[in-house]
Amino acid sequence: MRPQPDFLHEFVHGNSDRTLLLLHGTGGNERDLIPLGRELDPNASLLSPRGKILENGMPRFFRRLAEGVFDLEDLKTRTNELADFVAAAVRHYHLAADRVVGVGYSNGANIAASMLLLRPEIMHAAILFRAMVPLIPDKLPDLSSVHIWIGAGDQDPIVPASETKRLVELLRRAGADVTVRFTQAAHGLTNDDVTTARDWLKSR
Ligand code: MLT
């Protein structure tokens, strides 16, 4: 038996009750972020699905019409599908449903942000590297018990600082506790992102 609905995924059992939900960027796969997950928390379980959309052969979590222009209907459908998978995987692997931390990079961070806004019951915390505003929900969720760390690059050609600030404001309006950190970097992840996110996670 596998979780239903299913995604191709990697699962690594940890020895604490925390689970990191690892969400890769465009062109990544379920194996990509396993080393990052281990670095962020050596004891957590790791759940790492592969996005189901293919863009020129590159896996993603939802369709886009152009760089930074999202297919909102597909995004909503894919967000719910991913949230249902996480809930099923939590049951299947006997994980603590209230200890799931989303860790997303780029496209993965965008679907994580979408899940926070549309399915707030899935994650109690999130680390979002190079995230954008995925959508504006009709009704803001109550994220008052959710802690979010956002890592942005101050020379990111894909996510300008104004976009990061819009996301921070949106999540704060929903009541989330948001920490934002600008690193001297472009869109790619740096050691500084990882060590700062790891320190933040330790304090959660
Ligand atoms: C997206 O499509 O989610 C963003 O543009 C980031 C990317 O994947 O390049």
The pLDDT tens digits for 127-166 are 999 999 999 999 999 999 999 999 999 999 999 999 999 9
Q: Containing H/E element for 81? A: helix 72-92
Distance 59 CA to ligand 1 centre (A): 11
Q: How do 53-55 and 58-60 pair as beta strands?
A: antiparallel
Distance CA 148, CA 171 (A): 9
Distance 39 CA to ligand 1 centre (A): 24
Distance 69 CA to ligand 1 centre (A): 9
Provide the 10 A C-beta neighbour count for residue 67.
8
Q: How do 19-23 and 45-49 pair as beta strands?
A: parallel
In this structure, the residues whose C-beta lies within 6 A of any atom of ligand 1 are: 25-26, 64, 67-68, 106-107, 110, 158
Closest residue CA from atom 8 of ligand 1: 107
Exactly one of 32, 106, 124, 193 is catalytic; which is it?
106
Could you tell me which of 38, 165, 167 has the C-alpha nearest to residue 110? 167
The pLDDT tens digits for 72-94 are 999 999 999 999 999 999 999 99
On the question of pLDDT at 4 being above 80, the answer is no
Q: Which atom of ligand 1 is nearest to the CA of 132?
A: 4
187 belongs to the catalytic site: yes
User: Residue 3: what pLDDT?
Assistant: 77
Question: Mutate which of 107, 133, 159 to test ligand 1's pocket (most atoms within 8 Å of Cβ)?
Answer: 107
Q: What's the pTM value of the predicted model, to 2 decimals?
A: 0.97
Distance CA 74, CA 62 (A): 6
DSSP, collapsed to helix, strand or coil, labels residue 162 as helix
